[in-house]
Amino acid sequence: MPRLRPFRALSLALKVVRLTARGSTFVVLGNLAIVGGYVAGMPILLYAGCFALALPLMAVVLVRSRGSSLAVSRRFASPIVEAGTTSVVTLRVDNLARTSLRGMHWADGLPWRPWATASGWLPPLSARMGGLNRRSAAQLTYSLTPAARGVFEIGPLLLQSADPLALALGSWSVGSVTELTVTPRVVALSHSALLAQSGDGEARVLQRRSAGDDDDAMTREYRRGDAMRRVHWRASARHGSLMVRQEEQHSYPEARIIVDTRSNGYPDASHAESGRQPAGSVAAATRSPRFEWVVSMLASAAVQLKREGFLVEILETGPTQLAEASIVHRRASEEQEFLTRLATFGPVDTAPGWWGAPVASTSAGGPVVALVAHPEPETIAYLAQQALPGVLAVVFVVESSSSFGYFAHARGPARQSASDELRDAGWKVISVHSFDGISDAWELFVAESQAHRDDN
């Protein structure tokens, strides 16, 4: 998703000072007094008119000088939040000037409607003379609930102040923006029927023991740090070098989630201005309701399968965006890194015929889950290779709720529907729409896993 910056231009436009109704009245009366004094030859009216014009001018200068010596720092309760959850934002405003600052209204800039928080009141700040002065700083807090995933710029702080006579009103921005990373919402899902559970609730671990009396299968070369009690002398004599016994190997069953990230696979995508993320990766240039459903299911399913004990591998049909975060295992840091990468995960343009490095099919004891909307023929051909006998292969196809956007993709001869092609290739197809609940769709997957376990 693109980083949204619409408030930056708005904040610059708000660096203005305007006269209030009272100030405009002073200007009109001042001009009338000057004209009347000149016509009537009354110097007193000229003086009064000049004074009436000088007051709004001084008010404008006074208002414009405020806030220029303020320092603003912004802190989130957590710099990474989940979409739909509430986070507390704390602002610290310091008066660095040698003069006190009157109270004024404030609001913090937002990159989504209504473009700013509700107005609050900034208390008067005293001058900072020499050392620290508690009264020269104020702490402001408000709650923020981002509705969508992405990397957003929060701020700058917007201030609005008037002079003591309320002749001029100034609005301006202070401080810089602070980035907030919003990860996709992780929906709590039901436990699948893929793995037997032990008494303590942990998923069982696959044990791979070297078989029989095959010394070569049970040994490996000695490595620095290996205990001498593990040396296998008979194998060492045969190989002419020290060999040690291998311990029983433990590994976790693997699950794969294949997600279609090719932009041609999402005809409902609407283009937006693209940006670059701090890590250098290109943000998504499109927004698609069907892809947003895919991302939400991807996050929820990966977390659920990981908690069931699977080592989860994410495969992308387009250029990789997840990189090393595509493997989700037992460490919480891996899960957090994966969800953080999904904040900027989006459909990407892919050159015709491009497919990246080949990935072997798997039968590593776990399911293969695919998430697609309107996959291209080469994507379907790739998925057909992943549906191996004895492996639970389930694909979620996010169907379109309308025919809009399909005319541009309807060139050439009519082709069989993606659901039918995948079903013929051996996949269990679950058709959904972008407005369907993630947990409801997952229940269909749970039913498929139950049937697969019963059949095997």
Per-residue model confidence as pLDDT tens for the chain (456 residues): 433 344 444 444 446 888 999 999 999 999 999 999 999 989 999 999 999 999 999 999 888 777 568 899 999 999 999 999 999 999 999 988 888 888 899 999 999 989 999 999 999 988 877 655 678 899 999 999 999 999 999 999 999 988 889 999 988 889 999 999 999 999 999 998 886 443 333 444 444 433 444 455 567 777 766 667 778 888 888 888 888 776 544 456 889 999 999 999 999 887 544 333 333 333 444 578 999 999 999 999 999 999 888 889 999 999 989 987 777 766 677 889 999 999 999 999 887 766 665 555 555 568 999 999 999 999 999 999 888 888 899 999 999 876 444 434 444 445 568 899 999 999 999 999 999 999 999 999 999 999 988 887
pLDDT at 158: 92
Please give the Cα distance from 397 to 384 (Å, whole number): 14
Radius of gyration from C-alpha coordinates of the chain: 33
Give the CATH number, domain containing residue 430. 3.40.50
CA distances from 343 to 89, 127, 252 (A): 20, 42, 27
> Do 53 and 175 fall within a single domain?
yes
Q: Is residue 13 located within the same domain as residue 116? A: yes
Are 399 and 422 in contact, with CB atoms under 8 Å apart? Answer: no
Between the two ends of the chain, the Cα-to-Cα distance in Å is 41
Same domain assignment for residues 171 and 217: no
Decide if 409 contacts 377 (C-beta within 8 A).
no
End-of-domain residue from the set 220, 247, 274: 247
Residue 199 lies in a domain: no
Residue 195 lies in a domain: no
171 and 232 housed in the same domain: no
Domain termination residue (choose one: 183, 202, 220): 183
- CA–CA gap between residue 94 and residue 303 (Å, rounded): 42
Q: Indicate if 144 and 229 belong to the same structural domain.
A: no
The CATH number for 28's domain is 2.60.40.10
Q: Based on the domain organization, do 276 and 214 belong to the same domain? A: no
Residue 449's nearest CA partner among 373, 364, 366 is 366
User: In this structure, are 272 and 214 located in the same domain?
Assistant: no
331 and 363 both lie in a single domain: yes
Q: In the chain, helix, strand, coil percent, each to 5?
A: 30, 25, 40
Structural domain boundaries enclosing 131: 6-183
- Show which of 218, 247, 276 is a domain's final residue: 247
DSSP category for residue 308: T
The DSSP secondary-structure symbol of 115 reads: S
Residue with tokens 């008066």: 95
Same domain membership, residue 284 and residue 399 = yes
Rounded to 5°, the CA angle 68-56-167 comes to 80
- The angle formed by the CA atoms of residues 425, 429 and 435, to the nearest 5 degrees, is 145
DSSP string, 32-86: HHHHHHHHHT-HHHHHHHHHHHHHHHHHHHHHHHTTTTEEEEEEES-SEEETT--
How high is the pLDDT of residue 456? 72
- Give me 10's structure tokens: 């708005």
Cα gap 88→83, rounded to integer Å: 14
- Cα separations in angstroms, 429 against 43, 210, 373, 423, 432: 92, 38, 12, 6, 10
193 in a structural domain: no
Domain co-membership, 18 together with 60:
yes
- Residues 324 and 366 both lie in one domain: yes
CA distance 214 to 194: 32
In-domain check, residue 201: no
Evaluate whether residue 229 is within a structural domain.
yes
Is residue 452 classed as helix, strand or coil in its secondary structure?
helix
How many separate domains does the chain show? 3
**78 in the same domain as 12:** yes
Cβ contact 347:316 at 8 Å: no
